[in-house]
A and B are shown apart, each in its own frame.
Chain A
Amino acid sequence: MNDKLIDKPVSRRTFLKGTSTSLVIGMYLPMLASKSATAAQPVSSATANAFIKIHANNTVTVLSKHIEFGQGTFTGLATLAAEELDADWSQIRAEHAPADVKLYVNSLFGIQGTGGSTAIASSYLTMRKAGAHAKQWLKQAAAKLWQVPVERLEVNRGIIFDKTTGKKATFGDLVSTAAGMDSPTAEVMLKTPEQFKLIGRDLPKLDTADKSSGNAQYTMDVHLDDMVVATVAHSPKFGGTVASFDATNTLKVKGVIDVKQIATGVAVYATSTFAAIKGRRELKIQWDNSKAERRSSKVLFNDFHQSLASSGKVAGERGQIKDVLSQSENTIELSYEFPYLAHAPMEPLDVVVQHKNGAVTTWFGSQIPTIDQATIAQVFGVKPEKVQINTLLAGGSFGRRTTPDSGLALEAALVTKAFEKPVPVKLVWTREDDIQGGRYRPMAVHKVKATYEDNNILGWQQEVATQSIVANSPFAGMIQNGIDPTSVEGAHNQPYAVPHFQVNLTDMHTGVPVLWWRSVGHTHTGYVVETLIDTLLEKTNADPVDGRVALLAEYPREAQVLVSVKKMAEQAGKPAVGRMRGVAMVKSFGSYVAQIAEVSKGSDGMPKVHRVWCAVDCGVAVNPNVIRAQIEGGIGYGLDAILHGEITLADGGDVNQSNFHNYPVLRINEMPEIEVEIIKSAHAPTGVGEVGVPPIGPAVANAWRRLTGQQITRLPFAKSINT
């Protein structure tokens, strides 16, 4: 969720320091394997360790400790395991691991969870070691079966063979023998990058076929015997509570079974989804708004600006910024406004919970299973291990399913508990619940003042006012000296060599719940830093790429992606008349991304983005196909936000938007042509799920400024251009 989390583990490069042809990795690998059968009894599958099951039909299941919601984690983690297992890619399958923090901890979080683009980074060694361990286990089984020394055996593309005797076996052939054997305990040897056969290749994704045929199963698709569907009527204002309600008409709707008040609103239970939706429309609810947030977005922005002028904690500084600003004649002052944004994943939020005989079973796209499990357990008064989480594919998240307080799981547990029956209850949020449900990308205001002389950038002061995402959450420990790093990441540590520099943070408090939104703080800091540096370079007569590179002497990976992306765009020739190009570079989540956008003015007066070139350095490219897909998607997601994305509160605090008709999202006609180049790297892999998002906004804005002279500082573009 934040660079700090990613940067903590210092061991990521240590494996590269080895000089032998293979490397011994002694890290902890949780084991599940034990003697589950004897060699005499054929079994259909055997568990090598916590991450790998081998089946008699010769398929291999890799258990993913991270949720698959489109970022390609099934494919990525399975690639790592299959590499060291020396499996054939066609025999690999993936499924979600259960909730078990001891076995499936995210080493960068300390709990089981997905986020911060950490899945590959936190699994690079773990999954490879799991694969190497399973290979050793299978080799030992073959050695026992053939009565030959294990050292003589080799494995290639799923076949174990003994060159001396010519004996061969598939993994499936060895399952029964392996199942009866102890798990190998010796440390395993991992390959060096030159030995990789699968890592670095465009392997086809494991989940494509199911997702191209309607067969993929999401929470929304769960149908269980006696299952009831529930909707919840939530307060139209954040912080509003139920004063009283009348369900008379709701209970007349065919299919509605019951209505209950819960802590988050009024729950309607029905035999079908449509009846639960229809029944909810008939509720009459009086809300107690005495503690609700009633300020409009307009008032909130005003309050943010006012607070910014009067306070602020230093998040980063060097030099004598105040002296430089007071003495300089050439200054630029800009004030930026960023609205709330909804994540709007395609699958509206949903959870299935069943409480029966003292145990709780759940089915949903759990993004932080450890916290979800504890939260649900608390509601039912059971121990966390009594809560079983069956993690399912999620139809997108973009951060929305990572609520630190497990808000969604909590509501589902409350809904199920209030029903007081041992049947499964499926909580379904509609799109309106999703758009109006808060947990938004926080609003932010940035005020910048920069100064330059004789073609040199001298000073840079940036004041940020925004609401903390991690305050009062289990992640609050990330706050250091009063600074939530997710509020200023990418700003207080921006890489450009400006001698006098300061970034201040004013922490805002509102009743609107906020959350990480794909690329988190970089969604606004990247926009400000990259539009400001671009403006300053223009003022100081520098080329936008060369000028940046000149200020990045100590940041070679940042500079490299800029140089690469410039070359990509140059190879495409000059832009056509009426088009202009803009560049931006943002490092986030340990990865380096530079983009150039080619933009013209569309017939509607809005930017038309024709092409985007992107260079990305994410260390070892585990699966270039998945990386390109994530960058393409990230560009689309970021472009959507800067062009249209805006959640606003009306006077009184109600959310103005409710569905895709008034919360417009990017459609295919707005999608640019995208070219992605992945920098060849031996660094340990870093995330790609979020890193495509931050540069596209400023790249488009910089092109637009150079095209029209208009500096867009109030987002989205639609707001600045149409008002």
Chain B
Amino acid sequence: MTINIKVNGVNKEVDVTEDTPLLWVLRDELKLTGTKFGCGMAMCGACTVHIDGSAQRSCTMPIAGVANREITTIEAVSSKTANAIKAAWNELDVPQCGYCQSGQIMSAVDLLTKNSTPTDSDIDASMAGNVCRCATYSRIRKAIHLAADKLKE
């Protein structure tokens, strides 16, 4: 069936079955491959995108559920907070294999957008859904604090 979605500010018409998860529409139909497949059951966070400004797992979100909603992916996330997060990720060389980092960044942007001065336990609560098998967690934590500090300057 044909479904209209809005991705990164652009209206798109996709022809997929309505149970197709948003993840596979982004990756296979729209070729927005920055959003990753990690588990397929919302347990790892590699597929995290923003839907109407909030971090959501796209691998279990049927496309029918996001028609006409604002979807933002790693390729286009560019708020002041997002840019601060990405800059901090670069400054601290957070990624190792890098596969989970799109999802980490999308979750971190969501956290920092809603809470400009997160504590370590705020970070734990918000980021525990994002798995990093390289265990870059200590740098993720530092990078979120760094971005928060930079945004205050």
Choose one: A72, A212, A661; the contact of B86 (CB below 8 Å). A212
Tell me if A371 is interfacial: C-beta within 8 Å of chain B.
no
Q: Which residues of A contact B127 (CB under 8 A)?
A: 668
B72 vs chain A, min Cβ distance (A): 12
Tier of interface size on chain B: 35 or more
Instruction: State the main secondary structure of chain B at its contact with A.
Output: loop
Residues B26-65 near A (CB distance < 8 A):
27-29, 31-41, 43-44, 46
B13 vs chain A, min Cβ distance (A): 16
Given contacts A431-B40, A632-B139, A668-B140, contact A69 B89 (CB under 8 A): no
Chain A, residues 625-669, CB within 8 Å of chain B (1/0): the string is 100011011111101100000000000000000011100011111
Tell me if A211 is interfacial: C-beta within 8 Å of chain B.
yes
Tell me if B71 is interfacial: C-beta within 8 Å of chain A.
no
B17 vs chain A, min Cβ distance (A): 6
Among B41, B89, B137, max chain A CB count under 10 A is at B137
Choose one: B28, B40, B93; the contact of A625 (CB below 8 Å). B93
Residues A521-547 near B (CB distance < 8 A):
none
Per the bound structure, the CA–CA distance linking A70 and B20 in Å amounts to 31
Choose one: B28, B35, B41; the contact of A273 (CB below 8 Å). B28
Chain A, residues 265-286, CB within 8 Å of chain B (1/0): the string is 0000000111001100000000
Per the bound structure, the CA–CA distance linking A312 and B39 in Å amounts to 41
Choose one: A69, A255, A666; the contact of B135 (CB below 8 Å). A666
B78 vs chain A, min Cβ distance (A): 10
Given contacts A659-B41, A661-B41, contact A668 B93 (CB under 8 A): no
Given contacts A213-B86, A431-B38, contact A346 B21 (CB under 8 A): no
Chain B, residues 129-151, CB within 8 Å of chain A (1/0): the string is 11111111111110000000000
Q: Which residues of B contact A209 (CB under 8 A)?
A: 90
Among A72, A630, A639, A666, max chain B CB count under 10 A is at A666
Q: Which residues of A contact B93 (CB under 8 A)?
A: 204-205, 208, 625, 629
Tell me if A361 is interfacial: C-beta within 8 Å of chain B.
no
A395 x B128 contact (CB < 8 A): no
Among B17, B125, B136, B138, max chain A CB count under 10 A is at B138
B44 x A207 contact (CB < 8 A): no
Tell me if A419 is interfacial: C-beta within 8 Å of chain B.
no
A214 x B75 contact (CB < 8 A): yes
Chain B, residues 88-101, CB within 8 Å of chain A (1/0): the string is 01100111111111
A346 x B131 contact (CB < 8 A): yes
A216 x B98 contact (CB < 8 A): yes
Residues A206-254 near B (CB distance < 8 A):
207-218, 220-221, 223, 229, 254
Per the bound structure, the CA–CA distance linking A220 and B97 in Å amounts to 14
Per the bound structure, the CA–CA distance linking A216 and B75 in Å amounts to 11
A540 vs chain B, min Cβ distance (A): 35
A633 x B74 contact (CB < 8 A): no
Choose one: B35, B90, B135; the contact of A636 (CB below 8 Å). B135
A70 x B124 contact (CB < 8 A): no
Choose one: B29, B43, B75; the contact of A659 (CB below 8 Å). B43
B83 vs chain A, min Cβ distance (A): 11
Tell me if A396 is interfacial: C-beta within 8 Å of chain B.
yes
B92 vs chain A, min Cβ distance (A): 9
A212 x B41 contact (CB < 8 A): no
B87 vs chain A, min Cβ distance (A): 9
A668 x B99 contact (CB < 8 A): no
Closest to B31 in A: A223
A214 x B136 contact (CB < 8 A): no
Per the bound structure, the CA–CA distance linking A665 and B32 in Å amounts to 27
Choose one: B19, B34, B90; the contact of A214 (CB below 8 Å). B34
Q: Which residues of A contact B43 (CB under 8 A)?
A: 659-661
Given contacts A273-B24, A637-B135, A660-B131, contact A208 B73 (CB under 8 A): no
Closest to B143 in A: A212
Tell me if B123 is interfacial: C-beta within 8 Å of chain A.
yes
Given contacts A640-B135, A673-B138, contact A395 B124 (CB under 8 A): no
Q: Which residues of B contact A394 (CB under 8 A)?
A: 97
A208 x B38 contact (CB < 8 A): no
Tell me if A393 is interfacial: C-beta within 8 Å of chain B.
yes
Name 8 extra pairs, CB < 8 A, besides A665-B131, A667-B137: A207-B98, A347-B99, A395-B97, A431-B44, A629-B96, A629-B136, A630-B96, A666-B137
Subset of 10 A-B contacts with CB under 8 Å = A211-B101, A214-B74, A274-B16, A345-B133, A346-B38, A347-B38, A395-B98, A636-B137, A666-B135, A668-B123
